[in-house]
Amino acid sequence: MRAMVIDRFGGPEVFVERDVPRPTVGPGEVLVRVLATSVNPVDAKIRQAGSWAGITPPAILGYDVSGTVEEVGPGVTTLTVGQDVYFTPEIHGNHHGSFAEYVVAPATIVAAKPGGIDHVAAAAIPLAGGTAWEGIVRRLSVRPGETVLVLGGAGGVGSFAVQFAKASGALVLATASAENRETLEQLGADVAIDYRTQDVARAAREATGGRGVDALFDCVGAPALYPALPAVRSFGRIATILGGQGDIAPIVFQNQALHGIFLVREARRLEEMAPLFSSGRVQPLIDEVLPLPQVGKAHRRLDTGHGRGKIVLTVPG
């Protein structure tokens, strides 16, 4: 089968298209024909220096899949050959990701693709959408009538977070650059905050009549998170997917809850999200669609750090 392989860590130029053996399925696993995949910031971190994730070149990266079950291993009863599925492969120690024609995964992390959307849309969802779902729905438990501030609302994870918060019945505030204001509004944000020209905490306080937001979801990291903390009311909730070093005393003194999020792979989360995508209430924000051999181009976009939504890769063959 064809795959995009890295033989060394480095820049976007390290991807090489190559024939590699098709993976074999074992007990409790499924073999999936990859029809579309997508790129995520974690891909770039591993491509640059992935030893922290237990990766040693040569390796195949890629952590989103939408495709069709080609074969099921012994003991698998939840999935069938020919079924359309989507999932996010494990990261740590996984040398065979989704930048290939086929991938093997435990059946416990694979779910039926949402109906009503194609494989390109489905491939944009699992990792970024799952992270947003974990933050907005499971950890922050956003409820109708609450206010939520999303830092980085136009990015891969943030674009899902804005929509999930809105679907939960919240008033949504989100940050982005001025050129992405329209994108935030299309996603459903009630208040768009330009992080380059506005004081985010002050703008959020003003938008909530001085009360502060009930919950903050950070998709940017410490440089944006810590200045935004005054936007959160006392006894509010905070979740971050990146974290960072800094003084958390304000959180303690304000009796706030802080959640760190690193996605654990499971089919159940994908199944929980699926109805929102099938109904069209939430849609992945796709910035560009490229063929898999152009993964280097996609990674050059990742390296700028200013992407909008997701870049999806279709898999030939």
> Residue 120's CB: how many other CB atoms inside 10 A?
18
pLDDT band at 208, cuts 50/70/90? very high
Amino acid identity for residue 301 in this structure: R
Q: Quick one: residue 272, left, alpha or beta (phi over 0 = left, psi -120 to 50 = alpha)?
A: alpha
CA distances, 24 to each of 29, 54, 105, 186, 257 (Å): 9, 21, 10, 43, 44
What's the confidence (pLDDT) of residue 27? 98
User: Of 317, 313, 315, which Cα lies nearest the Cα of 35?
Assistant: 315
- For the chain, helix, strand, coil in percent to 5 are 35, 30, 40
**Fold classified for 129-260:** Rossmann fold (3.40.50)
Segment 197-201 mean pLDDT: 98
Residue 274 predicted with pLDDT over 80: yes
What tokens were used for 135? Answer: 């933050």
Residue count of the chain, please give it. 317
Residue 275 predicted with pLDDT over 90: yes
| b/e burial code for range 179-200 (CB count within 10 A of at least 16 → b) | ebbebbeebbbbbbbbbeeeeb
Give the CATH number of domain 2-125+284-314; options: 3.40.50.9100, 3.10.20.30, 3.90.180.10, 3.40.720.10: 3.90.180.10
CA 111 to chain centre: 16
What tokens were used for 27? Answer: 């007990």
Is residue 204 within 8 Å of 149, Cβ to Cβ?
Answer: yes
Q: Which residues contact 54 (CB under 8 A, 6 or more apart)?
A: 92, 93
Kindly state the DSSP code that residue 14 receives in the 8-state scheme.
Answer: G
What's the confidence (pLDDT) of residue 269? 98
Taking the complete model, does pTM exceed 0.75, yes or no? yes
For 255-304, the DSSP string reads T-EEEE--PPP-HHHHHHHHHHHHTTSS---EEEEEEGGGHHHHHHHHHH
| Per-domain boundaries in the chain | 2-125+284-314, 129-260
What's the confidence (pLDDT) of residue 3? 98
